[in-house]
A and B are shown apart, each in its own frame.
Chain A
């Protein structure tokens, strides 16, 4: 945007060096361009959501005659048909249940392993840690076929357990938490040891409270990963009652290929819960995602 800067009044050097508070506020062309730009961006990012809602309340017939922004006779008919076709409440509850369970499990298994790698001394520690990290590199696609076979053999296909199994422990989470454990000053443990505290007390009373930010980051990432997971549920789940939202929606699309109001009603139902979680924990979620970028 170099050309907009030339039209803006150039600050004299003295104005420029003055503290920001005393500078007179002016709406410059540059500022205007900024606002137009970010508003346009927001429109592009938000409009598809609005359009989803609009479509979901459109009565069946109007879709064929092309889209309209203002629905003349809005109806919740599509939602009623959605609930008839699919146990949506059950599916939403499944998604939450699975996401919460796998997040909690990863926090427990991750923080315990992080304590072992960060604080305990034992032979072969580096080798074991390297093996843990090696599992981080294996993409799920490599594991899908044999995991499916393994689950079939264990007769665990089409169960909640099968959905959670691959995400009970995550090497990434262990790595993240180990870094945090190593950031806790050792003097704190030593002082506690002198006071007669054992590993459990040090872990629970000193380490866990101090690595809470890293735990929050892991919780956000684990929850999102589980919530959005599609390939594994697609492979391992058959019964409608065990489906999570992404799988339920893909199935819905197969049933209502041309009835976009029903498909969009399903989309709305799956966006609303996560959007509420997002609005409540927005700061943590964005910080958690950004955290993965700063290394």
Chain B
């Protein structure tokens, strides 16, 4: 399938005795090309080139059809003053703010439970992990059905016990919470596995010593487990934020950004601007804004980690 049959591939039969230095260097270059070309060419063609093109497009007014019109930084200034930009970043942050605590606390509870020895532990671990391997589109569809306002299972149960039945993804107020619920359900197993690996790296003697010294279960958790788990926590937070800013699949399927834009997120807007409204330049500029925000947030976290991440 590779398009890249390197013409410079070294001849395997040429085993000349005592080659000169220059020839040896030439042969080394040929080997470097042989080993690097299969990855360098696709990365150049399908990552580096579009990246440059994206910057170029972001400086133009373009609907994908008519000729491009150079407008400098106008797309960026327009985005920075447009209230829609604030609202889509707000929705994205709202998603992260709901999703992260839910998935972390839930994942930690499961990890703590599975860190004890008991019968059937591997069954439970496998069960919790099953949603992780299920695709986002399936998860979104299943939850759209579970949270169906009229005859979905959740509202049927809520109605039976006399609780109010929200409109879930059809209600502007409840659209984002519905997406958060589905997303947390899918990712819980992933967070659990990461935290479980972190828990298992904590030396048992430390907890044992604290127990002998009379520390309560809560004290041991608070002062030993949590601090020593902080590298794993840090990883979960960094990854969740990066993925959170890029949330799209489940939003597209569950609400399409609606109702009335109530759950529109940044990537959804990039998609709509390009393929629905024919504003490719603005979409490219927005994608760069998103990239800068992600880079900035990640850099801040890496700087801030010294304050709270303990390295054992």
Contact = CB atoms under 8 A, between A and B. Distances in A.
Interface of A: 1-2, 5, 31, 34-35, 37-38, 41-42, 44-46, 48-49, 51-52, 55, 63-67, 101, 105, 108-110, 112-113, 115-116, 120-122, 128, 132, 135, 137-150, 164-166, 168-169, 171, 174, 198-200, 203, 224, 227-228, 230-231, 234-235, 245-247, 249-250, 253, 260, 263-264, 266-267, 270-271, 274-275, 277-279, 282, 285-286, 289-290, 292-295
Interface in B245-277: 246, 248-249, 252-253, 266-267, 270-271, 274-275
A21 B290 CA distance: 56
A146 B53 contact: yes
Q: Secondary structure at chain B's binding surface: helix, strand, loop or mixed? A: helix
Report, nearest first, the 5 A-B pairs whose CB atoms are least far apart. A293-B194, A146-B53, A116-B35, A146-B50, A169-B39
Contacts of A1: 217
Contacts of B143: 48
B131 interface: yes
A67 B133 CA distance: 27
Contacts, number: 273
B28 interface: yes
Contacts of B290: 139, 141-142
Interface stretch (B94-102, B144-152, B302-310): B144-152
Given A139-B290, A141-B267, A199 B31 contact: yes
A109 B42 contact: yes
A80 to B, nearest CB: 19
A244 to B, nearest CB: 9
B11 to A, nearest CB: 11
Contacts of A145: 54, 57, 270, 274, 280, 283-284, 287
B36 A113 contact: yes
A193 to B, nearest CB: 13
Contact of B39 (A110, A138, A203, A294): A110
Given A109-B42, A141-B270, A168-B2, A135 B48 contact: yes
Given A145-B54, A230-B136, A249-B137, A45 B267 contact: no
A279 B34 CA distance: 38
B137 A250 contact: yes
B217 A35 contact: no
A258 B30 CA distance: 60
B130 A278 contact: yes
B215 to A, nearest CB: 12
Given A49-B130, A113-B35, A108 B288 contact: no
14 contacts: A49-B130, A64-B151, A116-B35, A122-B28, A141-B248, A142-B290, A147-B46, A169-B38, A203-B35, A267-B141, A270-B135, A271-B134, A286-B193, A294-B201
B47 interface: yes
B208 to A, nearest CB: 10
B257 to A, nearest CB: 14
Given A67-B153, A122-B28, A278 B116 contact: no
A128 B1 CA distance: 24
A228 B31 CA distance: 36
A143 B267 contact: no
Contacts of B253: 250, 253
